Amino acid sequence: MDYLAMGGYGFYVWGSYGVAALALLIEVLSVRTRRRRAVAEARMDEQEGVTLPNVSEVLR
Amino acid sequence: MSINWYKFASPASFYPLAGRLIPWFAMGAAVLGIVGAWIGLVIAPTDFQQGEAYRIIFIHVPAAWMSMFLYLVMAFWGALALGFNTRLSAMMAQAIAPTGALMTFIALCTGSLWGRPTWGTYWAWDARMTSELILLFLYLGVIALRNAIDDPRRADRACAVLSLVGAVNVPIIYFSVKWWNTLHQGSSVSLTAAPRMAAIMLTGMLIMSIAAWLYAIAVVLMRVRAIIVERERGSAWIAQLPELAR
């Protein structure tokens, strides 16, 4: 318990490490979600036939 | 074998490259982050003046350094986007802004938590703290500006200009402790003089700084991949991506 108390500064030290860890975790999760949503919407484009055709195939 | 680096300026070529790089940077960040935190919380001795409160330095300083570096990198990509009109440069700048804002936020929060026990206050309007807060506003402003403009290419140019104009704030933050009387202490680490702190503390700070860099690169690469898919929707190469196939 002495260690966790950090000489009386526990709130500040663990608070700092905790804020940093939480912020980084939220960032990683939010980027993952963003990518998943982007891929899902791109997949819908493909299914709806919105995708531009490959120019070289069109010209053939 | 010489690599034609310019081919990676195309989003379609850069996308798979970024995908292969991310795991390495992520693993490096995780390993060094754990080592750095271990040094900071366990190995490094108690400080003579500040007791255990000084351990916040291992989070606060790397975050603050990253907040400044990332802004300069973001402005650099913005300058490239303006100069060469390249989409990927603008996408990189777009990807950096949220991570930079987060690092600034962490620096401000941890600095505030460090200031309370050591200076007796959570906040003061001294030069360094104020200019770092302005840095946060600049990051948020760049993000808000992008959301405010419909045409992505116009948004790219506007955000690049804002980033470049705001870049003057970074040297202000850095030199603030030298130019003004501040509550914030002067720099203990310099490129030219010997550091005025214990070696193990310096080592811990450097390891955490490298961890912060690796983390930032991994997250920015992740985000730029999402941005590439968002902005290149409708292209044939996106349609053929393996992750799209269910």
Burial (CB count within 10 angstroms: exposed 0-12, middle 13-18, buried 19+), residue A58: exposed
Q: Mean per-residue pLDDT for B226-233?
A: 94
Distances (CA, A) of B112 to A33, B57, B115, B116, B122: 30, 12, 5, 6, 5
B236 vs A31, A41, A53: nearest CB: A53
- pLDDT confidence bin for B245, thresholds 50/70/90: confident
- Residue A59's pLDDT is 60
DSSP notation for B137-155: HHHHHHHHHHHH-SSHHHH
pLDDT tens-digit series, residues B20-55 = 999 999 999 999 999 999 999 989 888 888 888 889
Query: In angstroms, what separates the C-alpha of A24 from chain B's closest C-alpha?
Result: 8
Interface contact flag, A6 B55, Cβ < 8 Å: yes
pLDDT above 90 (res B209): yes
B59 min Cα distance to partner chain A (Å): 7
| Contact (CB<8Å) B53/A12 | yes
Closest Cα to residue B62, out of B219, B222, B205, B195?
Answer: B205
- Cα B9 to the center of its chain, rounded Å: 22
Which chain B residues contact residue A9 at CB under 8 A?
A: 51-53, 117
Number of domains present in the structure of chain B = 1
Phi/psi of residue B186, each to 5°?
Answer: -70, 175
B241: its two tokens: 């991506």
Structure tokens at B231: 């902005």
Please indicate whether, in this complex, the C-beta atoms of B234 and A35 are within 8 angstroms of each other: no
Higher pLDDT, B183 or A17: A17
Collapsing DSSP to helix, strand or coil, B46 comes out as: coil
Smallest Cβ–Cβ distance between A16 and the set B46, B113, B215 belongs to B113
Q: Is the residue at B5 inside a domain?
A: no
Residue pair B52/A16 in contact (Cβ under 8 Å)? The answer is no
Is A15 in Cβ contact with B113 (below 8 Å)? Answer: yes
Most A CBs within 10 A among B32, B66, B113, hence the mutation to make, goes to B113
Residue of A nearest to B237 (CA): A54
Q: Quick check: is B223 in a domain?
A: yes
Its domain, for residue B223, covers 29-44+53-232
* Closest by Cα among A27, A38, A45, A44 to B225: A38
Any domain includes B16: no
| pTM summary value | 0.91
